[in-house]
Structure 1
Amino acid sequence: MALITKIREKSGLAAAAIAISLILFLVGSDIFQGKSSFFGTNSQEVGEIAGEKIMIADFQKKVEEATANYTAQTGKGPSEQEQQMIREQVWNQLVLDIAYKKEFDALGLQVSDEELVDMVQGNNIHPSVRQQFTNPQTGQFDKTYVIQFLKNLKTMPAQQQQAWANFEKSLVQDRIRSKYENIMRLSNFVTSNEAQKEYQTQTAKFNARLVHVPFYSINDSTIKVENSQLEEYLAKHKEQYKGYNSRSIQYVTFPVIPTKQDTVEFYNQIKKLAKDLAVAPNDSAFAMLNSDVRTPYLVSYSDIPEAVKTQLGTFQVGGIYGPFKNGLTYSIYKYGGVKKDTLFTIRASHILISPANKSDSAKAQAKTRAEGILAQIKGGANFETLAQMNGMDGTAQNGGDLGYFKNNGGMVKQFEKAVFGFSGSGLLPSIVETDFGYHIVKVTDPKTNISYRLAAINKNIAPSQSTLDRVYAQADNFSNANGTLGAFEAALKKDKSLIMMRADKIAENATSINTLANAREIVRWAFDDNTAVGDGSHKVFEQENQYIVAYLTAKSDKDKVKVDDYRDEITSLVKNQLKGEKIKAKMSGLSGTLEQIAQKYGAGAIVENVSNISLSNGVLNTAGPDATALGRISGMKVGKRSKAFVGDNGVYIIEKTGATPAPALADYSVFKNQIQSMTSQRTSYYINEAIKENANIVDRRNKFY
């Protein structure tokens, strides 16, 4: 029955595992950025996939079912972030069920009942079934467990029967997807000419001398770019720049900080709680009920805050101590004495010196170095400084601090034995050898097996309602007085205490903005069809400890690519074009040797030699991997010089000084297989791109969530 219980608990998880593997098949690009506005559509449509409209009521029902399954499996409701993930999984499943299924059906792909049986209990068990039905004694898949489970399936609750049905559905989807992908993969073919070309690209070598004038040799500030030039560039390269839906905003925050009066009232509350804690018949329960941050009643020394440790020696059983301040949290404690544990806790630092390899000579060198460092510390050198200078693991930057740890096998045996065998605190007299190397060790807090009974009330100081109301009124008045972006910018000039924040290119499914963690309401406002560029939010958004007023500064649309969507990138490219034309014009009028041309050109011109480079991995020294220049060199005849031309990273004049052709091969199958393998690895991505493009996916979830 233990196995049945396990399957009942995990059958839903197994189905989720298959679903996730299918979802991963979708990942790799902007599949969920193809969203549009509500122009001419039903406001109850959450999206459209392959011509099939998805209504919000149907989508939400599936989300609620998935949420219920999540809650049943985890024993708790999902957080906001987890709820977002659940909605994403439901949407991904719809893409699989609709867009992919149409492609599968068009080819007549299916999984027969016999094939499903074979995957579950036959000769070709699916990996997810193997994972779920493992013999706990052997750790191996056991088919008898599957058969036993299926025999008992009809006696299980309806919910578990449905979970198994969903699991089998996921197995079928995964198998059909594999068949489809294999068909596409087997359709790839590499010709002998393609293989020969790849061989020559990798093997043929050439040498050259060149004059290179990089674009960066001309200062950006000297090149003026007109907006019309950017528009022209975008029009010529529109296939390279895909549209996307985004919004940019500016906003101002009004932080809510407790006032002096709030602090006084809070401190009076703490004092009253301290009096009540002192007489509470069940002090630990009282502390738990009245704490904003709950902490265990029985705590080890390592878990006690540093401020409390310094006074712990003065605590008396039954006494009330505090308040102790940690940020905006104040804590009071009722001390209930100590309790001895079976395990000891200790805190230590170390300096690890690892040998370069496993040879005896390397070990001897590491040991000698470690002993030398130990001698320096014994002579008065600072342990932490030497740890930072010499330590060979991640603790070095913290002065070798390992923190607190117990004698429960968390450290390697030799190290644990040495440290817990040491009495008191201080430097261990000898180095400690382990499989990792040689350790110089200092105990910073001596071992102890004492736990402390501390009933702690931890309260976060918070602003009063009157303070909240006052700051909200301030933010609301600002919003009403400055309803547009222009008015907002004018207000910023008048009031220097206001701090403007900005967030550019926010995605429509974003849940956070900069450091604002739960900013979904702001994102939805920014993407609302009625919000225009220049509009203020006309409302105050509430975040933890602050109020926010926002203004929309820009928007992009996937169906309408604008220069502003890629302004910085395109401006840089157009500037390089203009620089290239300017450099080329100057170089074209020069003659002589390459050195003479560089000298005549002046500052910025570089003469370089490159040797034994190929088309596939050639690097032109300071110019880097310039594909245009490499192609020119490859196509030139030995002894010839090119005219000045613009490459990817600057302007060049090149002389080809030598070449080593790729030797002829009788068989190019190695290179054919190489290309075939690379193409096969990208098959999933190509399939995904083709299916999603053909499905014309429209995602409007951001309108509802």
Structure 2
Amino acid sequence: MALINTIREKSGWAVGAIIIGLLLFMLGGDFLYGRNSLFGGNDRVVGEVAGEKVEYEDFNAALEQAKQGFIAQQGRQPDENAMGYLRDQAWNQILYRIAFQKEFDKLGLKVSDEELTDMVQGENPHPSIRQAFTDPQTGQFDRMKVIEYLRNLDKMPPQNQDAFRSFEANLSPERLAIKYNNLIKQSTYVTSAEAKRFDEAQNTKASLRYLLVPYFTVSDSSVKVTDEQIQAYIDKNKGRYKVEDGRDIEYVTIPVSASVEDSAAVRKNIDELATQFTTAPNDSLFVKLNSDQPFNGAYLSPADMPEKLRNQLPLQVGKVYGPFAENGTYSLFKVMNQKAGAQAAARASHILIKPEGTTPEADAAAKAKATDILNKIKGGADFAAMARQYGTDGTTATGGDLGWFQEGRMVPEFEKAVFGATSTGLLPAPVKTSFGYHIIKITAPKTTQTYQVAAVQKSIQPTDATRDAAYQKAQQLKGEAADIKSFRDAVAKDKSVQKVEAKGIGRGDQSVNNLQGARQLVRWAYGVNPEGGAETKIGDVSEVFEIGDQYVIAVLTGERNKGTADVASVKPEVSALVRNDLKAEQIIKKLNASKGTLEQIAQAYGSNAQVKTADNVTLGTGLLPGLGNEPLAVGKAFGLKPGQKSAPFQGEQGVLIVEPVSVQKPTTNTDVKAVRQQLTAQRTARADGLIYEAVKAHANVKDNRTKFF
């Protein structure tokens, strides 16, 4: 069994190796969660790949295989988060199998029985086989152990046999993938001319002057952008505005939080337990029977204790401390035992004065400042107030308090000073460390005392009555909302709730804004109605969803289908771009009216035109030092002769005119062969992902998993 598990782990459950890195791209999409439900009568089609329908039964079989692999690797059943990952994995495996098999068939790619045998027990074993049967001591692969293992496979437990058969079944797809990818990768070719151009673009430097009129110098209010212009821009740049399915909703949440009565009930219970805890004969059993958290018998130093218990130091054995309320929990602590620990702990506050440089003068100034502050504190100034005023680290907000800490957690010089002190109070002189000068106040001297503490903790949870009240409030709001307008009116009328907007929710999203585990809400937005009936339309109001510790009601306000973005969904972004286009037209027209040097043109334009110099400009980067990304400006500069000006043109930050001053070409000869190898390696490294995306796009994938999960 151990050997099979080793093969599984080393092979990534065989699936990871099958697609040779492509799963990195395939698994990066949406994670789907939720219970398995079937809708639409006899419609059991999960999706379609390359014209081939994916039936629910086939998908479920792939999912079950992925699930069993997870259990074998992790030693536990997958939770909801893991199931979402596994559903995505199963879908992508099916997508890969169908779409790529069609490509394999077109090319006539096959894997022979001889190849498969060689991958398991031949001279060229699969990497997972090689690793599983390599002696860790000698590093030598033992092929005879593989043969022996296979000979005894039928005598092993069924799960071992199933695991190996699954691994073996995936060898053929893996080999096909290697062949297919290698065929395409081997077609990667870089010419000598390309290599020379690339090298020249990376190593040729230019100095240039440019005139810039930034877009922001033209008022936005002076340029009107119409929806027609936005649509024209989108049509012209469709490739930049490809979108997946998206849904817009507005929603409110009604939290299910414990009431004052709920808190009082828990407090009454914890008070009763406090009395019983004092006389309990077996503290660990008492904790086990009465606490929301398990018993922990570890000895605690003051540095590891809850703050409210630490404030009771020194503690008495047998005494019960509390109840204390913190973060929605009531706590009781009973001291079971005490002993000296291995490490000392102490508590201190400090004021750190950092030198304003690395020179001896800066160090002396920091020391003098620290000494002056120390003398003020000795004279009666409040330490915490001085820490807030002069401290230079993260403790200023707490008046310099570092809390309790054990030896080994601070820099040596600081620790030596703190743990060398035998009483509370201010240390007589600043302490120098690598951080600067510290003014130190000991608030609790070192101690090695540790305590064994039994803790009874009761979280303040809402009762059923509280939960019912929140649900009734949600239902009342739901009853008042029939469409977008009435939903908004109902929310506006109830000042205790706040409307939240979520735009562009993806089909496979698991969360909505900060609502985690909101899969049911996402499925509703995409028209999957768990209670049957008509599909969700714009203006529909949802049922009351229970998501975490809150009830949620939503209204669908918009939908976006896969394809090109519409005006409404990208209006703010595209409006700015169109506005820049219109501004550029105005600026270029005004610049064209002037002639002469850059300075003369700038003077004629006005104070908003700037003339600047850029040195060491590289064609391959497309950057203008001091300005940023301006690829068109860089390209134009390298296309002109020194001293020759370009016409005004539209850039990224504004309208520019460029004038190269000088161009310095590389002085050493290019190693064309090395550059070709570099470029080829770069392109080959991207091939796996590009191949997958190309095949997937060609497969015309239709993903209907939302109907089921």
TM-score range, shorter chain: 0.7 to 0.9
Counterpart in the other structure of 1:359? none
CA drift of 1:581 comes to 0.9
Q: Identify the residue that residue 161 of structure 2 maps to in structure 1.
A: 161
- 2:46 and 2:537 map into 1 onto residues whose CA distance is 22
Once the two structures are superposed, what CA deviation does each residue of 1:222-264 show, in whole Å capped at 9, x if it has no partner? Answer: 3221111111111111122212111122111222332222222
Q: Which residues in structure 2 correspond to 1:451-466 (within 5 Å)?
A: 452-466=451-465
Q: In structure 1, what is the equivalent of residue 538 of structure 2? A: 533
Partner of 2:531: none
* Cα distance between partner residues in 2 of 1:420 and 1:135: 53
Aligned residue number for residue 267 of structure 1? 267
Structure 1 residue aligned with 2:476: 477
Residue pairs, 1:323-362, within 5 angstroms:
323-338=323-338, 343-344=342-343, 346=345
Counterpart in the other structure of 2:22: 25
Quickly say closer, same or farther: Cα 1:578–1:374, change in 2 above 3 A: closer
Question: Which residue matches 1:489?
Answer: 488
The corresponding residue for 2:314 is 313
- The alignment partner of 1:514 has SS state of coil
Contact 1:248 1:503 in 2 (8 A): yes
Cα distance in 1, alignment partners of residues 613 and 292 from structure 2: 70
Deviates more, 1:254-263 or 1:478-487: 254-263
In structure 2, what is the equivalent of residue 648 of structure 1?
652
Deviation for aligned residue 1:460:
1.2
Which amino acid is 2:198 matched to?
E
SS of equivalent residue, structure 1 residue 16: coil
Unaligned runs of 5+ in 1: 355-361
Cα distance, 1:397–1:275 mapped onto 2, change above 3 Å: closer
- Over residues 548-584 of structure 1, what are the superposed CA-to-partner deviations in whole Å (9 max), with x where a residue is unaligned? 2112222211135322333232222111111111111
**Distance in 2 between the 1:389 and 1:188 partners?**
60
* Alpha-carbon shift at residue 63 of structure 1 (Å): 2.5
Question: Does the 8 Å contact 1:485/1:551 carry over to 2?
Answer: yes
* Correspondence 1:508-519 to 2 at 5 A: 508-519=507-518
CA contact (8 A) 2:351 2:387 kept: no
Moved more, 199-208 or 438-447: 438-447
Deviations 1:184-217 (A, max 9, x none): 1111112233223223323444443322112222
Q: Is the 8 A contact 1:11 1:160 kept in 2?
A: no
Asked whether the equivalents of residues 346 and 420 of structure 1 are also in contact (C-alpha less than 8 Å), the reply is: no
CA distance in 2 between counterparts of 1:103 and 1:428 reads 80
Q: Does 1:186 align with 2:190?
A: no
Q: 1:358 corresponds to which residue? A: none
1:671 corresponds to: 675
Distance (whole Å) between structure 2 residues aligned to residue 259 and residue 149 of structure 1:
64
Deviations 1:343-378 (A, max 9, x none): 446468999999xxxxxxx99999999999999999
Task: Give 1:294's aligned residue.
Answer: 294
Structure 2 distance, partners of 1:353, 1:118, is: 69
Of 68-77 and 546-555, the range deviating more from structure 2: 68-77
Structure 1: distance between partners of 2:508 and 2:635: 43
Match of 1:6 in 2: 2
Q: Could you say if the C-alpha distance between residues 549 and 679 of structure 1 is closer, same or farther in structure 2, counting changes exceeding 3 Å?
A: same
Q: Give 1:131 shift.
A: 4.8
User: 8 Å contact 2:20–2:177 — kept in the other structure?
Assistant: no
Counterpart amino acid of residue 25 in structure 1? L
Q: Name the amino acid aligned to 2:22.
A: F
1:97 equivalent in alignment to 2:97: yes
Give the 3 Å change call, closer, same or farther, for CA 650–198 of structure 1 in structure 2: same
Partner of 1:311, secondary structure, is coil
Cα deviation digits, residues 362-416 of structure 1 (max 9, x gap): 9999999999999999989989969x9788xx99999796975688xx999x999
Conserved? CA contact 1:513–1:519, under 8 Å: yes
* 1:247 match: 247
For residues 277 and 40 of structure 1, do their structure 2 counterparts lie closer, same or farther at Cα, with a shift above 3 Å needed? closer
Q: Which whole-Å deviations, capped at 9, do the CAs of 1:647-674 have from their partners, x for residues lacking one?
A: 3332123334444456796863333233
Mark the CA change 1:370 to 1:445 in structure 2 (over 3 Å): closer, same or farther: farther
In 2, distance between residues paired with 1:204 and 1:371? 51
The one-letter code matched in structure 2 to 1:561 is A
1:510/1:33 Cα in 2 relative to 1: closer, same or farther (>3 Å)? closer
Shift of residue 522, structure 1, vs aligned partner: 1.0
1:478-627 matches, cutoff 5 A: 478-528=477-527, 530-537=535-542, 539-559=543-563, 561-627=565-631
How much does 1:532 deviate?
1.8
Within 5 Å, give how 1:684-695 maps onto structure 2: 684-695=688-699
Are the structure 2 counterparts of residues 690 and 536 from structure 1 closer, same or farther at C-alpha, using a change threshold of 3 Å?
same
- 1:696 matched to 2:700: yes
Aligned equivalents of 1:145, 1:423: Cα separation in 2: 68
What amino acid does structure 1 have at the position aligned with 2:305? Answer: I
Report the Cα distance in structure 2 between the residues aligned to 1:113 and 1:440, rounded to whole angstroms: 75
- Which structure 2 residues correspond to residues 91-170 of structure 1 after superposition, within 5 A? 91-112=91-112, 114-116=114-116, 118-120=118-120, 124-129=124-129, 131-133=131-133, 135=135, 138=137, 140=139, 143=142, 146-147=145-146, 149-150=149-150, 152-170=152-170
SS in 2 for 1:510: coil
Name the SS of the counterpart of 2:677 in structure 1. Answer: helix
Look up the equivalent residue of 1:306 and give its one-letter code: E
Q: Secondary structure at the match of 2:537?
A: coil
Q: Distance in 1 between matches of 2:586 and 2:598?
A: 19
| Matched residue, 2:228 | 228
Aligned to 2:311, what secondary structure does the other structure show? helix
Superposed CA deviations along residues 120-178 of structure 1, whole A, max 9, x for unmatched, are 55554544445545656x48465379546555533321112222233344555444433
Residues 1:260 and 1:120: Cα distance change in structure 2 (over 3 Å): same
What is the identity, as a one-letter code, of the residue corresponding to 1:502?
A: E
- Distance in 1 separating the partners of 2:104 and 2:373: 71
190-199 or 517-526: which moved more?
A: 190-199
Matched residues in 1 for 2:439 and 2:151: separation? 60
Contact 1:418 1:432 in 2 (8 A): no
Q: Contact 1:534–1:552 (CA<8 Å) still a contact in 2?
A: yes
| Alignment CA distance shift 1:656-1:337 (3 Å) | closer
Assess if the C-alpha contact under 8 Å between 1:484 and 1:535 holds in 2.
yes
Q: Contact 1:46–1:699 (CA<8 Å) still a contact in 2?
A: yes
Offset of 1:513 from its aligned partner? 1.7
Q: Deviations over 1:575-604 (max 9, x none)?
A: 111111111122121233322221221242
Change (3 A) 1:379 1:128: farther
How many residues align structurally? Answer: 682
312 and 642 in structure 1: CA distance in 2 versus 1, 3 angstrom threshold: closer
Contact 1:130–1:141 (CA under 8 A) maintained in structure 2: no
Report the residue type matching 1:574 in the other structure. V
**CA shift in 2, pair 1:275/1:505, >3 Å:** same
Structure 1 match to 2:380: none
Do the aligned residues in 1 keep the contact of 2:340 with 2:449 (CA within 8 Å)?
yes
Task: Give the conservation status (yes or no) of the 8 Å contact 2:345–2:406.
Answer: yes
* Residues 651 and 18 of structure 1, relative CA distance in 2, 3 Å threshold: same
| Deviation at residue 629 of structure 1 after TM alignment | 1.9
Shift of 1:76: 3.1
The AA in structure 2 aligned to 1:533 is: I
Opposite residue 16 of structure 2, the aligned amino acid is I
Q: Which amino acid aligns with 1:464?
A: T
Sort the Cα spacing of 1:585 and 1:365 in 2 relative to 1 into closer, same or farther, 3 A.
closer
Question: How far apart are 1:477 and its partner, in Å?
Answer: 0.8
Contact 2:202 2:620 in 1 (8 A): yes
- 1:308 CA displacement: 1.3
- How high is the TM-score relative to the length of structure 2? 0.82
1:74 maps to what in 2?
74
Q: Secondary structure at the match of 2:77?
A: coil
3-state DSSP of counterpart to 1:48: strand
- Counterparts in 2 of 1:659 and 1:513: CA distance versus 1, 3 Å: same
Q: CA RMSD in A?
A: 4.6
SS in structure 1 of the partner of residue 557 of structure 2: strand
Q: What is the CA–CA distance in structure 2 between the aligned matches of 1:506 and 1:198, rounded to whole Å?
A: 42
More displaced 10-residue stretch of structure 1: 152-161 or 657-666 = 657-666
Query: Offset at 1:643?
Result: 2.6
| Rounded Cα–Cα distance in structure 1 between residues aligned with 2:373 and 2:488 | 60
